[in-house]
Amino acid sequence: MKTYIKPNRNDWSELIRRPEMKAQDLNELVASVFQTVEKLGDSGVRGYTKRFDQVEIFEPKVREEEIQLARKLVPQKLKDAIKTAEQNIRKFHNSQVIEESSVETQSGVKCWRETRAIEKVGLYIPGGTAPLFSTVLMLGIPAQIAGCDRIVLCTPPSKDGTINPAILFTAQLVGITEIYKIGGVQAIAALAQGTESIPKVDKIFGPGNQYVTAAKSFALTKGVAIDMPAGPSEVLVIADETSNPAFVAADLLSQAEHGADSQVILLSTSEIMLNRVQTEIEVQLASLPRMEIAIDALNNSSFIQLKTLEECLELSNKYAPEHLILAFETASEYIEKITNAGSVFIGKYSCESAGDYASGTNHTLPTNGYARNYSGVSLDSFIKKITFQELSVSGIQSLGPAIEIMAEAEQLIAHKNAVSIRLKALKNA
């Protein structure tokens, strides 16, 4: 951990600069996988699964009996916890359903919007060292509420060709039955282009490593939308002398254990607090199974003392963190000062883990500074809005002349004529 005491404002940008990823070799690999999958379909996917995951899958679609077996393998306590999270996440996302109203912009001219679900969506769920069954809830529930016609889930198989039972149980809980045992770049390539077994989707969702992230970006060139650009996970915590150093250390470590490229930043008005948090981190690290991963992440992280909480919020907005934790007593008084963040956790008891699992908010969030211009996944991510307008006789008569004048000024005479021909017909009638 690097510690900076009251750094000059001119140095702020350098202190919060994210590590740059070498993209050229990565992009060449992704393009090659897409090309092969487009040409060979299922056999191309199977080949890459054998190469990257060291397992050969001849029937990628998960069978119903595999899903039923998974139900028996998941401990009841875990089932109950997943159901609690499912209820909260469903309640929060149901609250995002909005009834659109129509407006008469002028006499005889009525405009409104209607919601339509994205028809086919692909959900990518990482398996690997941390099978993220919680992400099934975060993506599957809003997709279901939105009314997507087809929800396709892809997740990498283990070495024995099976899928983590908790992933299958959670998928079944939220009503997802079309599940495929493929992961990595080949999964994104299959979803973006389609194969004999796997359908081409309209939008791809889900987190992943740098390969999956690069593949999702490449999918855009195939006319497939993605949830958002992404990078490594990150958290920024703001603390003062009222904060609990053990709580702060736990929050920083909970993000650091995601991966060696995760980034954690602590901002504080108190140098004493920075030192106490560092001590707590050393104590808590010793008991973590993913200690080495967390240490690698901490080596690229920063502890920064600033003069005031206002300065801390200013630097946080400049960084635009995926997760922002205000871990001090007066946190609620500073909410309005937050302009850039993926998800915000207010007060010393609001741990980032709550949002990751069960509070109800979505944990699929913008990283790498994209919180400046992207929102996290929500119900809106799975729908699109179509605008409608209806002009009556009086509407085209009252609005038509303005349209004619504007179209002629832009020298788009066919646009003008579309109005003029109607006005003339009405006049002749």
Q: Which residues make Cβ contacts (< 8 Å) with residue 278, sequence separation at least 6?
A: 1, 3, 303
Mean pLDDT on 12-37: 88
Query: According to the model, what pLDDT value does residue 104 have?
Result: 97
Asked if 227 contacts 368 with a C-beta cutoff of 8 angstroms, the reply is: no
Q: What is the mean pLDDT of residues 178-188?
A: 97
Most confidently modeled range among 7-21, 189-203, 207-221:
189-203
* Angstrom distance (rounded) from CA 1 to CA 19: 15
- pLDDT value for 127: 86
User: Do 231-375 and 24-101+117-226 have the same topology in CATH?
Assistant: yes
pLDDT at 107: 96
Q: Answer yes or no: is pLDDT of 161 > 70.
A: yes
pLDDT at 93: 98
Across all residues in the chain, what is the average pLDDT?
Answer: 96
CA-to-CA distance for 363 and 354, rounded, in angstroms? 10
The first and second tokens of residue 382, run together, are 């799975």
Catalytic annotation present for 59 = no
pLDDT grade for 24, boundaries at 50, 70 and 90: confident
Determine the Cα–Cα distance for residues 275 and 416; give it in Å rounded to an integer.
71
Residue 257 annotated as catalytic: no
* pLDDT at site 1: 81
- What is the separation of C-alpha 141 from the centre of its chain, rounded to a whole number of angstroms? 14
Name the pLDDT band for 21 (thresholds 50, 70, 90): low
The per-residue pLDDT for 22 is 66
Using the predicted structure, report yes or no on whether residue 130 has a pLDDT greater than 90. no
Bridge partner residues of 2 (DSSP)? 302
Q: Which of 323, 352, 363, 404 is catalytic?
A: 323
CA-nearest of 172, 361, 348, 325 to 252 is 325
pLDDT, average across residues 261-280: 96
pLDDT value for 368? 92
Lowest model confidence (mean pLDDT) among 14-18, 103-107, 401-405: 14-18
Q: What is the mean pLDDT of residues 369-377?
A: 96
Beta bridge partners of 345: 325
Quickly name the fold that domain 24-101+117-226 has. Answer: Rossmann fold (3.40.50)
Q: List the single range of 207-216, 265-274, 301-310 with lowest mean pLDDT.
A: 207-216
CATH class of 231-375: alpha beta
Q: What separation, in Å, do the N-terminal and C-terminal C-alpha atoms of the chain show? A: 81
Average pLDDT in the 280-291 region?
A: 96
User: Which is it for the CA torsion 153, 156, 158, 160, positive or negative?
Assistant: positive
Catalytic position from the list 86, 257, 280, 322: 322
- Over residues 247-273, mean pLDDT: 95
pLDDT band at 230 (very low <50, low <70, confident <90, very high): confident
Is residue 367 pLDDT above 70, yes or no? yes
Q: Which residues pair with 113 in a beta bridge?
A: 387
Domain boundaries along the sequence of the chain: 24-101+117-226, 231-375, 392-428
> Which pTM was predicted?
0.94
Exposed / middle / buried, residue 130 (Cβ in 10 Å: 0-12, 13-18, 19+): middle
